Structure 1
Amino acid sequence: MRLTERVCVIGGGGLGYGLSSYYDCNVYALDAGSEIVVVDAGSGIEPERLFRRLEEDGLPENKVSKLLLTHAHADHAGGAAAWKRRYGVEVAASAATADMVASGDEIRTSLAAARASGTYPPSYRLVPCPVDRIARAGETVAAGDLTLQVVAAPGHSFDMVCYYCPELKALFAGDAVFAEGKLAVLGTPDFSMGDYRATIAALAGLDVRELYPGHGPALAVGGNEAIAAAERRFRRGEPPLSIV
């Protein structure tokens, strides 16, 4: 589903667009001209539904070149191996995400606990996937005629990064911030409210028009306002609004 001239959402589950597996995060395809960049991989459950969306949105498979992961939670990274197997993509992630995804670490990604609580099917497993590039905060990923700046964004998880495209004023936010200034507050060991507060303050300093979160609706305009709403609640000492 095309959101803007450059950005399509090709996946999203129970907390998103309902385009693919219930267990998927929002999965975005960024048209960078000579190549297509996918942001987050989904869960890896029924990945062919994501692949079909590329064709339906008129995105040539032979241009799919990069997969950028925001963090290692299974709904975002569990499908990385399927993307690599199908398209031979270059997978990029933070160093911490890369370690967990490459090893299929179900403890540090909180998958084992989530599966035990019924969040995921009993048979679901995190399929390991090698990561080709470490996305370090402050570095830039070149993609066709666009660039994507890596922004450290711990809080929801310690390994989170966002990707900011200055040419589009677009933030691919993962689970850092959502429409209406909502956050994703968890009780998992990798969650930190203190880190979350610092991340939202840092994101508020970016010039964000388009906001592409990991769940819920994307915003083609008004991204700054959503981030500012989250930042105001922290400044006032109010508890954040959470999507979960």
Structure 2
Amino acid sequence: MTASIERLVTSGTFELDGGSWDVDNNIWLVGDDTDVVVFDAAHSAAPIIEAVNGRNVVAVVCTHGHNDHVTVAPELGKALDAPVLLHPGDDVLWRMTHPDNDFRPVEDGLTLTVGGVELRALHTPGHSPGSVCWYSPDLTAVFSGDTLFNGGPGATGRSYSDFDTILGSLSDKLGKLPYETVVYTGHGDTTTIGDEMPHYYEWMTRGH
């Protein structure tokens, strides 16, 4: 079977800087009938385990360390006998939710293989210091976390984020991907690099 992309949505809260917001999170499962990678461990473990449906989990990948993306990461890692991956730039955010649990560090350029396709880590700081997008040329897909959405870059108005940095990540990393690449976002609808990057200079002038 050729690798496919499955979407699961869970609901909960995002908490940072003393605030709390209700959010719906996309969880992406990439793989085939045997092996799968889980992108983000949002809110509730049970529906994710159900979606995995007994397959071997190559990794539970956290695109960044905000609590709504790592809520049940240690629980999932243990239940699914899988490593939890996160860029060490987000250790401070991870510790806010999981002070007593560790993760396996991700570096720019790290690759995972699942279902015969390659997934490559692109370190894209800005929304958070350790934000990572995962690009699959085989699937013409990038899993962007909260770095790029349908409508523009992720938010940079809270602690450990920076607008100029996220713009640099978009121009230097995501903007160099083929325009037909589908962007599988951390929240909301998918988009494409070609639909978003032509608006780069508009983002620069209006801020975010």
Asked whether the two chains share a fold, i.e. TM above 0.5, the reply is yes
State how far apart, in whole Å, the 1-side matches of 2:127 and 2:25 are: 14
Contact kept in structure 1, 2:64 and 2:87, CA below 8 Å:
yes
**Cα shift at 1:11:** 2.4
Contact kept in structure 1, 2:12 and 2:68, CA below 8 Å:
no
Q: Which moved more, 1:166-175 or 1:134-143?
A: 134-143
Post-superposition CA distance 1:142-198 (Å, at most 9, x none): 223011111011111111111000101100000000113x22324222011110110
Alignment of 1:1-244 (within 5 A): 6-13=4-11, 23=23, 25-32=25-32, 34-43=34-43, 46-52=44-50, 54=51, 59-97=52-90, 99-100=91-92, 105-106=95-96, 126=98, 128-132=100-104, 134-180=105-151, 182-202=152-172, 203-207=174-178, 208-219=180-191, 223-234=192-203, 237-240=205-208
Larger strand fraction of residues = 2
Runs of 5+ unmatched residues, structure 2: 14-21
Distance of aligned partners of 1:140 and 1:50 in 2 relative to their CA distance in 1, 3 Å threshold = closer
State how far apart, in whole Å, the 2-side matches of 1:65 and 1:198 are: 30
Find the residue that maps to 2:207 and give its secondary structure. Answer: coil
Contact kept in structure 2, 1:71 and 1:159, CA below 8 Å:
yes
Runs of 5+ unmatched residues, structure 1: 16-21, 107-124
Contact kept in structure 1, 2:87 and 2:132, CA below 8 Å:
yes
Aligned residue pairs total 197
Contact kept in structure 2, 1:41 and 1:80, CA below 8 Å:
yes
Q: Which moved more, 1:32-41 or 1:169-178?
A: 32-41
Distance of aligned partners of 1:50 and 1:60 in 2 relative to their CA distance in 1, 3 Å threshold = closer
Contact kept in structure 1, 2:38 and 2:57, CA below 8 Å:
yes
Post-superposition CA distance 1:195-220 (Å, at most 9, x none): 0110111211112522111001124x
State how far apart, in whole Å, the 2-side matches of 1:39 and 1:137 are: 17
TM-score (norm 1): 0.72
State how far apart, in whole Å, the 2-side matches of 1:128 and 1:79 are: 13
1:7 counterpart letter in structure 2: I
Contact kept in structure 2, 1:29 and 1:38, CA below 8 Å:
yes
Contact kept in structure 2, 1:157 and 1:190, CA below 8 Å:
yes
Contact kept in structure 2, 1:32 and 1:146, CA below 8 Å:
no
State how far apart, in whole Å, the 1-side matches of 2:64 and 2:49 are: 21
Q: Percent identity?
A: 21
